[in-house]
């Protein structure tokens, strides 16, 4: 029997359904009848950091090659019947997939034939087909992708930073692995990881747009294959509180130096709550958005350009950090200005005007995102995997107060946990 819950937001006037399907899958259905398009995401709580795990009914943990989650994503589009992209071409849907540090998602968007496209999604994600021949063929393809990323400045500046921040956590390992690690992948290992993490109890389906919930559920009843409940323990080595090094630099073919400046924080107690996430987003908006004194000063001094400078709160199972990024002729000066501005706010706080402006900006941006079916679908899946909920987060932004936001500085943006990564031009 399917269990259906309605989630409504008086603040936004929006609503969606959460269904605990009899197969074990959690389904989000977010009807937006006024939209011409629909967007669906079928995701599993399985990413590149999950290279050591233990299943509840097995006596010992498994350690698998780095990059296997990304490899599995590539291979799942293939079947005995052919390539899933060719099937989508017949429905007119635009399909894609991605593997991140802590999840793998398969998605499509369309303006028509939404149920036919959903049927394809539910079919191929539940129908693995791996052979020695196809696995070996993919090793060459992904090997080329890995070598391409080895020379990608944006990719290198990010992973160089993660290597400077983290001693043991696998977040510092390239999502695609290495040429050596993927050479160890076999059909048997792919099936083992698939059967562990692609269990419907470990997955979420979300569909947003011009859809009828009844028809979506009828299709799910028809297509979903019941899964036995499973408990998966992700195993990480203890991560020290310290950073590895405070600065790392690599020379590549760039016109202007790229930088990422990160502040590591402790994530041992689990993921941030909706309230903590909202407070962090407001704090970072006040600190470094285009409306902030720091941004204006960096721009006036020619240290950044307006298009590239930004920030993000980067967090997942066992890791969390704040990262500032951009292009600069003097990345070290940018890092020093950021440190100084943080200390200034730590000593003197935020003005009521600056706090209100930042809060309204974050709130408005999240309200605007509710007009995008893709933003809604991807947010619902990622928030679910993090143990958070969309409307609760928006309410937390609306209810945030200045003192609580400033208290985030007690555990965030600490100067001793900061590291600078630079990719500079080859001389």
Decide if 242 is inside a domain: no
Q: Is 315 a catalytic residue?
A: no
Strand ranges (E), 36-93: 38-44, 52-55, 62-63, 78-79, 82-83
Same domain as 106, residue 26: yes
CB neighbour list of residue 10: distance below 8 Å, 6 or more residues apart: none
pLDDT at position 122 is 97
Give the predicted TM-score (pTM) of the model. Answer: 0.94
Q: Is 159 left (phi over 0), alpha (psi -120 to 50) or beta?
A: alpha
Same domain as 187, residue 105: yes
Same domain as 227, residue 282: no
The residue whose two tokens read 């692609």 is 198
Same domain as 171, residue 102: yes
Q: 326, 154 in Cβ contact below 8 A?
A: no
Same domain as 344, residue 410: yes
Distance CA 409, CA 283 (A): 9
Active-site residue (options: 73, 260, 315, 327): 73
**Collapsed DSSP state (helix, strand, coil) of residue 237:** coil
Q: What is the pLDDT of residues 103-159, one digit of tens each?
A: 999 999 999 999 999 999 999 999 999 989 888 888 888 988 899 888 899 999 999
Q: Which parts of 151-231 fold into alpha helices (H)?
A: 153-165, 179-182, 187-197, 213-223
Decide if 239 is inside a domain: no
Q: 303 lies in which domain range?
A: 247-425
pLDDT at position 230 is 86
Total domains present in the chain: 2
Decide if 157 is inside a domain: no
Q: What is the pLDDT of residues 178-201, one digit of tens each?
A: 999 999 999 999 999 999 999 999
- Secondary structure element (H or E) that encloses residue 147, with its range: helix 132-150
Q: What is the pLDDT of residues 48-106, one digit of tens each?
A: 999 999 998 788 899 999 999 999 999 999 887 778 999 999 999 999 999 999 999 99
Distance CA 142, CA 66 (A): 13
- We report the CATH number of the domain holding residue 110 as 3.30.830.10
Q: 124, 77 in Cβ contact below 8 A?
A: yes
Q: Which of 177, 201, 234 is the last residue of a domain?
A: 234
């Amino acid at each position: 029997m399917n269990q259906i819950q309605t989630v409504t937001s008086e603040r936004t006037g929006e609503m969606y359904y959460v269904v605990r399907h009899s197969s074990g899958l959690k389904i989000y259905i977010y009807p937006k009848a006024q939209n011409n398009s629909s967007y669906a995401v079928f995701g599993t709580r399985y990413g590149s950091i999950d290279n050591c795990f233990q299943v509840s009914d097995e006596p010992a943990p498994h350690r698998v090659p780095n990059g296997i989650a990304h490899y599995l994503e590539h291979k799942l589009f293939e079947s005995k019947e052919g390539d899933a992209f060719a099937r989508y071409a017949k429905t007119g849907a635009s399909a894609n997939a991605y593997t991140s540090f802590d999840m793998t998602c398969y998605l499509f968007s369309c303006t028509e034939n939404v149920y036919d496209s959903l049927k394809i999604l539910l079919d191929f994600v539940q129908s693995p087909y791996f052979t020695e021949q196809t696995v070996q063929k993919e090793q060459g393809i992904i090997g080329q992708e890995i070598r391409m990323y080895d020379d990608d400045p944006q990719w290198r500046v990010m992973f160089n930073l993660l290597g400077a921040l983290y001693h043991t956590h696998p977040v510092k390992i390239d999502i695609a692995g290495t040429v050596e690690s993927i050479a160890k992948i076999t059909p048997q290992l792919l099936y083992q990881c698939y059967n562990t993490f692609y269990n419907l109890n470990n997955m979420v389906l979300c569909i947003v747009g011009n859809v009828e919930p009844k028809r979506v559920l009828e299709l799910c009843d028809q297509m979903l294959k019941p899964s036995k409940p499973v408990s998966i323990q992700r195993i990480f080595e203890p991560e020290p509180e310290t950073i590895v090094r405070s600065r790392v630099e690599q020379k590549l073919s760039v016109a202007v130096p790229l930088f990422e400046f990160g502040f590591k924080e402790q994530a041992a107690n689990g993921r941030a709550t909706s309230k903590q996430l909202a407070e962090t987003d407001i704090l970072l908006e006040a600190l470094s958005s285009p409306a902030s004194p720091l941004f204006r000063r960096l721009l006036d001094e020619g240290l950044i350009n307006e298009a590239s400078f930004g920030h993000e709160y980067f967090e997942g199972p066992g890791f969390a950090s704040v990262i500032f990024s951009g292009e600069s002729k003097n990345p070290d000066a940018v890092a020093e200005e950021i440190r100084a501005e943080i200390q200034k706010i730590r000593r003197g706080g935020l003005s009521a005007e600056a706090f209100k402006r930042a809060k309204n900006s974050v709130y408005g941006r999240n309200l605007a995102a509710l007009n995008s079916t893709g933003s809604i679908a991807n947010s619902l899946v990622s928030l679910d995997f993090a143990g958070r909920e969309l409307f609760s987060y928006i309410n937390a932004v609306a209810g945030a107060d200045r003192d609580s936001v400033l208290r985030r500085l007690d555990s965030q943006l600490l100067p001793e946990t900061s590291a600078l990564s630079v990719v500079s031009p080859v001389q």
